[in-house]
Amino acid sequence: MTLTLAILLAGQASVPPVQNAAAAPATPAQTIEVQGAEPAPPAPEETLQRSSITGDIVVTARRRAESVQNVPIPISVVGVKELDSTGSFNVARLQQLQPTLQFYSTNPRNSSVNIRGLGAPLGLTNDGIDQGVGVYIDQVYLSRVAVATLDFLDVAQIETLRGPQGTLYGKNTVAGAINITSKAPSFTFDGRAEVSLGNLDFKQAKASVSGPLTDDIAIRLGLTTTDRRGTVYNVATRQYVNSQDNIGLRTAILWNASPDLSFTLSGDYSRQNPVCCAQIFVRNGTTQRPLNRQFDLLARALNYEPPSRNAFDRLTDLDAQLNARNILGGLSLRGEYKLGSGTLTSVSAFRFWDWLPANDRDFTGLPITTLSQNPTHQSQYTQEFRYAGGGTKLDYVLGLFGFYQDIHTTGTQRQGSAASRWLINPSSALANDPSVLDGLTASNDIRLKNFSGAVFGKLNWKLDDRFTLSPGVRLNYDDKVGSYVSIVRDSAGNLVPYTGGTARQAAQRDAIQPQSFSDEAYRAWNVTYDLTGSYKPGRDVLLYATYAHTFKSGGLNLNGVPVVNGVVQTQLAQIAPEKVDHFELGAKTQFWDRKATLNVTGYWTSIRDYQAVVNNSSTSTLRGYLANAGKVRVRGIEADFSVRPSERFTFYTNGAFSDARYLDFKNAPCPPELSGGGTPTAANPTIGAPGQPGTNSPIVCDISGQWLPGISKFAFSYGGEYNLPTKVLGQDGEVYLGVDASSRTKFSSNASRSIYTDIAGYTLTNARAGFRTDAGLNVFGWVRNVFDTHYYEVLATTPGNTGLIAGNVGDPRTYGITLSKSF
């Protein structure tokens, strides 16, 4: 097996960012070539060795070797073999191997990657704030999580770092990071080809080749393509939707300019162009709106019925165009220079993202919202310098990081002929006039210029053979300038005013509120610091403790702010940073002659000024907006266990207990069962019962003590593989059978927990069986979701408080065959 390990955690001589094989399915152990973050050119590979029985991994970096069990950081590592054998070709699949990782997506832009329930609030998309989980490809930070929806491209290894990062490299992230390391160019010719076929017209191909161009220059080329029929049938357009249509290309050139200097130039391009993304009818939950303004009676008035009220019939009738064209790419240049007792590394990169969507945001087959899209072009430039050096007692990393991002989004929302009847109170004569809202169009122009710069450092001070102190610090500056302009016109092209006007214009403004603000700026300095102490009482035991004080950058409301009496509330355009205090205790152990590994971590994370959508008494009747909640706490225990009693059998299980709650959130938006009703007055202050039609609704809801969305109290992944030596058609090899499963308990799918949007726990089981040879041939059959479990990935409330709940159904049972050959 060949893996590549990016020691992206700053290339420390004593702390490579690898934890253990328990975080992923255990695999046959071989000598593995590893690309280090701070190698000594001209041979930038470090040697990572794994004993064939014990699974002990040793990294040789800058004249020093360390077992991964000596790393006082909780990190899950998945190599290329695990990715290929389990079919984990994107982050959505990867989360089934890692119970502390959560990924949710209704389309590439509306995606969130969380670790331990933290990162970005579920369902909240706003370009004016940073993500809490950093995604890195070959040491380059990616500012938008849309890349997580694409196929992994010629990947060697993926590391998921849990807990705050920032004193070692790159962008500050409060929840963790996903480091994706591509396969490196090789000075010996090698290659690999893989083809997979399956049901739902699934077709996937991967290929890579590498070799020398000269004695000092090597190149690598990689390609991946995936195509699959959609899992939901649209009876209106007579086509399957939520399909897959991905292609990716990558190349890298390594030049060993001298014994002490090397450069790696990399370029990649990925395109996603599926018929996507449909959220379909799940249920109707009663709200406090008058009954004649709720889904069933509104639909009856328009002679409408969904094609099915059972989401697992996988039917929809969305009448608006669907598209999710997602294009990402970029160039990077990494230089590594051996200087003195350490290595100086420079990483320069340019990246771009083009997003061309089309959505049906009324979630029905009715012409209510006929166009809803926010196409965007984003570009970013990053520059990082690191110097990693040290000696016997001390080693350190010093770094500079600069980031610049430019975003331009031009959105359009257009209402259709059914909008008046659906959105205007039936007691008004305007509700029966389709022309009031038909053709009403909002044209949005959203811009952001975002700069972030930092200086950071990390020190490892070895007090003696057993005890090490590792302090770190980061000084960060953020500068964001943004604007939001929404111009609303009726079907005749007449402007809808911010306030006043006719009753007709007031109804139009209730449907889409025009507003504008420009040159809003957020600028701030912040300091991050952490301290880790590690103690090694014996060869196979490591104990460690960490405290980190960090932050998530403040930002801007680029989805708009409330408008009160025609005045845009620009004082609400800025969002303060999240302030994070994180505590962690961990133990890494091996026993049974290192055939078994057990690592345990306990953590407690408190966040003040949590960034979320809020309401308040003066503005919430018009619009919720992004601001800061009071306090959030996430605490839990994680355990990773793997055992390899012989070369024939491996087994792993990873588990996580999480207690993730809002401790103080008194000004939250209310869930649908407490929304849509009248406004309390002095004459009628009574709030109705949840889901009671025609009653008053609270202005805000206190959800202190409730669950954070998207995270289960218990989550597990587990599995194993058994192999048996044999000969097939004269080829020596082994037959094998592998099973992997993941289980999670109930979780909330709404920022304010609702009786309508809890998702029941479920278990997904995957299996594979095949034959592989030492010569690199591997052929196997696979089944994903063996028991055809019905489950929801995401449930969402829909606009207007009609009670309609839409959602994404998970994949049904899929099966197929894969053939691969390495050479």
Higher-scoring residue by pLDDT: 562, 237: 237
User: Does the pLDDT value for residue 25 go beyond 70?
Assistant: no
Residue 747 located in a structural domain: yes
Name the residue among 665, 411, 451 with its Cα closest to residue 555: 451
Measure the CA–CA gap between 115 and 176, rounded to whole angstroms.
Answer: 6
Q: Which two tokens stand for residue 587?
A: 């133990």
User: Using alpha carbons only, what angle is made at residue 479 by residues 373 and 474, rounded to the nearest 5 degrees?
Assistant: 120
pLDDT in tens, 177-199: 888 889 999 999 999 999 999 99
Place of tokens 């165009």: 321
Indicate the average pLDDT of the chain: 88
- CA-based nearest residue to 346, from 305, 296, 307, 399: 399
Strands 133-137 and 140-142: antiparallel
CATH assignment at residue 736: 2.40.170.20
Kindly report the number of other CB atoms within 10 A of residue 666's CB atom: 13
Whether residue 13 is predicted with pLDDT greater than 70 in this model: the reply is: no
Q: Which residues pair with 655 in a beta bridge?
A: 639, 716
Strand 261-272 to strand 369-373: parallel, antiparallel, or no bridges (unpaired)?
A: unpaired
Distances (CA, A) of 77 to 21, 84, 157, 179: 7, 14, 7, 10
Distance CA 238, CA 700 (A): 43
Q: Would 297 be classed as within a structural domain?
A: yes
Q: Nearest CA to 566 among 612, 616, 514? A: 514
- What is the β-pairing status of strands 232-234 and 315-316? parallel
Q: What is the pTM of this model?
A: 0.90
User: Is residue 132 a contact partner of residue 116, using CB atoms and an 8 Å limit?
Assistant: no
Which pLDDT score, from 0 to 100, does residue 703 have? 95
3-state secondary structure of 188: coil
pLDDT at res. 67 = 63
The answer to whether residue 784 is domain-embedded is yes
- For residue 768, being part of any structural domain is answered with yes
Helices (H), 579-625: none
- Which residues are paired to 602 by β-bridges? 585, 637
Q: Give residue-wise pLDDT tens across range 133-185.
A: 988 999 999 988 777 777 888 888 888 889 998 888 788 889 998 888 899 99
Determine the Cα–Cα distance for residues 225 and 244; give it in Å rounded to an integer. 10
- Helix ranges (H only) for 150-269 are none
Q: Is the pLDDT of residue 74 over 60?
A: yes
Beta strands in 68-184 (DSSP E): 75-79, 101-105, 111-115, 133-137, 140-142, 155-162, 176-182
Provide the 8-state DSSP code for 117: T
pLDDT for 2: 31
For tokens 């960090």, what's the residue?
A: 550
Query: Which range has the worst mean pLDDT, 24-28, 386-390, 692-696?
Result: 24-28
Give the pLDDT confidence score for residue 606 in this predicted structure.
97
Instruction: Report yes or no: 400 and 382 within 8 Å, Cβ to Cβ.
Output: no
For residue 55, what pLDDT is reported? 44
Any domain includes 10? no
Q: Can the peptide bond before residue 277 be classed as cis, meaning omega within 30 degrees of 0?
A: yes
Is residue 92 a contact partner of residue 149, using CB atoms and an 8 Å limit?
yes
Among residues of the chain, what percentage have pLDDT more than 90?
72
- Judging by DSSP bridges, how do beta strands 232-234 and 190-198 pair with one another? unpaired
Give a yes or no: residue 766 inside a domain: yes
Provide the 3-class DSSP secondary structure of residue 684. Answer: coil
In-domain check, residue 27: yes
Residue 10, pLDDT above cutoff 50: no
Instruction: Provide the 3-class DSSP secondary structure of residue 562.
Output: coil
What is the tens place of the pLDDT at every residue in 595-633?
Answer: 999 999 999 999 999 998 887 544 334 456 788 888 999
- Three-state SS at 375: coil
Non-local (6+) Cβ contacts of 506 within 8 A are none
Peptide bond into 725 cis (omega under 30): no
Q: Which of 234-243, 285-294, 544-553, 625-634 has the lowest mean pLDDT?
A: 625-634
Helix (H) or strand (E) holding 299: helix 295-301
Distance, CA of 624 to CA of 750 (rounded, Å): 15
Residue 111 has a pLDDT of: 86
Q: Report, as an integer, the average pLDDT of 391-397.
A: 90
Q: What is the pLDDT of residues 111-130, one digit of tens each?
A: 888 999 998 877 667 888 89
The size of the chain, in residues, is 823
Whole-Å CA distances, 20 to 12, 311, 318, 468, 822: 17, 40, 46, 20, 26
Q: Which two tokens stand for residue 674?
A: 């407490």
Whether the pLDDT of residue 40 is over 60: the answer is no
Output b/e per residue, 246-285; b: 16+ Cβ within 10 A.
bbbbbbbbbbbeeeebbbbbbebebbbbbbbbbbbbbbbb
Both structure tokens of 394: 């001390």
pLDDT over 90 (residue 22): no
What SS3 class is residue 755?
coil
Torsion of CA 605, 611, 613, 615, to 10 degrees: 90
Residue type, 449: K
Show the domain range for 396.
21-412+424-822
SS3 of residue 65 by DSSP: strand
Q: Is residue 66 part of a domain?
A: yes
Round to whole Å and give the CA distance between 458 and 153.
31
Nearest-angstrom CA–CA distance, 78 and 327: 26
Greater confidence, 45 or 268? 268
Name the domain count of the chain: 1
